[in-house]
């Protein structure tokens, strides 16, 4: 029996594997993610939404760890598993318990982040948590979300960072290069975005070391 880690990026998947999780990569495509989750469903014991996220609340900064109390999307509201969440909070006392919003497109602009914060009350946002929560709910599986903040609430991402990923969750470097050639002025912001991602992924890695195999899931064994 396995714990599925629902991720968007190949780099997140590599960290998840080190924690004994089975990664399911969405690559920013919710329909593809649903298809892959359905294929991975047999043998699944629990589900975690795992990876980086954007901040909606001003109090969250790059590298902060957030644990979802529940996940909201445009039409849905899912509560995280209480026992598993408690295990996460016990081993990660610096993490913040927050509402996470799930969206189908990147919350790339400061204005979009502010709007989501106002309308949903969520403190963080990503593109996988709502899909993972719905999948777990439909199958009666325990669900949590563990995310690290990448871009803060005041950051607007450069166009090159918004280029669609490959189905395997990797950057399409040719597309990124073309975007940079169209607008070289975004280069410094793209470098900053990469540095923020490295900080967030490093924080996730440290969480895995603290939580151990299965990320503290109480339903294994």
pLDDT in tens, 132-156: 999 999 999 999 999 999 999 999 9
Tokens 């990469």 belong to 194
Give the residue among 140, 126, 52, 48 at the shortest CA–CA distance from 88.
48
Q: Which residue range is the domain that position 171 belongs to? A: 2-216
Task: Identify each DSSP E strand in the chain by its residue range.
Answer: 2-7, 22-25, 44-55, 65-72, 77-79, 96-102, 124-126, 143-149
Q: pTM value?
A: 0.95
Q: What is the CATH number of the domain that holds 28?
A: 3.40.50.1580
Whether 127 is covered by a domain: the verdict is yes
45 CB-near residues (< 8 Å, 6+ apart): 1, 2, 3, 141, 142, 217, 219, 220
- C-beta of residue 12 within 8 angstroms of C-beta of residue 204: yes
162 to 7, 41, 107, 109: CA distances (angstroms): 17, 30, 10, 11
Whether 185 is covered by a domain: the verdict is yes
Q: How many domains does the chain have?
A: 1
Taking all residues of the chain, what is their mean pLDDT, rounded to a whole number?
96
- Residue 74 has what pLDDT? 86
Whether 190 is covered by a domain: the verdict is yes
Tokens 């509402």 belong to 99
- Residue 202 has what pLDDT? 98
Whether 221 is covered by a domain: the verdict is no
Instruction: Place 199 in a pLDDT band, splitting at 50, 70 and 90.
Output: very high
State pLDDT tens for residues 38-60.
999 998 999 999 999 999 999 99
Whether 33 is covered by a domain: the verdict is yes
Whether 88 is covered by a domain: the verdict is yes
Instruction: Place 102 in a pLDDT band, splitting at 50, 70 and 90.
Output: very high
- Residue 194 has what pLDDT? 96
d(CA 42, CA 38): 8
d(CA 107, CA 216): 30
Whether 30 is covered by a domain: the verdict is yes
């Amino acid at each position: 029996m396995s714990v599925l880690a629902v991720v968007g990026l190949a780099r997140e998947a590599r960290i998840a594997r080190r924690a004994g999780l089975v990664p399911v990569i969405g690559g920013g495509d919710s329909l593809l993610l649903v298809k892959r989750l359905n294929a991975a469903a047999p043998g699944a014991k629990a589900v975690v939404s795992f990876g980086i996220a954007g901040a909606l609340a001003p109090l969250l900064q790059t590298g902060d760890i957030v644990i979802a109390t529940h996940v909201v999307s445009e039409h849905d509201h899912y509560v995280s598993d209480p026992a598993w969440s408690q295990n996460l909070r016990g081993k990660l006392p610096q993490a913040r318990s927050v509402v996470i919003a799930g969206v189908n497109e990147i919350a790339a602009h400061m204005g979009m982040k502010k709007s989501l914060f106002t309308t949903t009350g969520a403190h963080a946002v990503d593109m996988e948590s709502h899909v993972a929560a719905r999948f777990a709910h439909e199958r009666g599986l325990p669900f949590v979300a563990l995310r690290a903040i990448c871009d803060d609430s005041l950051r607007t991402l450069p166009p090159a960072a918004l280029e669609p990923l490959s189905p395997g969750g990797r950057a399409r470097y040719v597309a990124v290069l073309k975007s940079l050639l169209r607008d070289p002025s975004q280069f410094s912001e793209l470098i900053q975005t990469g540095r923020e991602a490295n900080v967030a992924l490093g924080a996730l890695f440290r969480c895995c070391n603290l939580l151990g195999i299965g990320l503290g899931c109480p339903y294994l064994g």
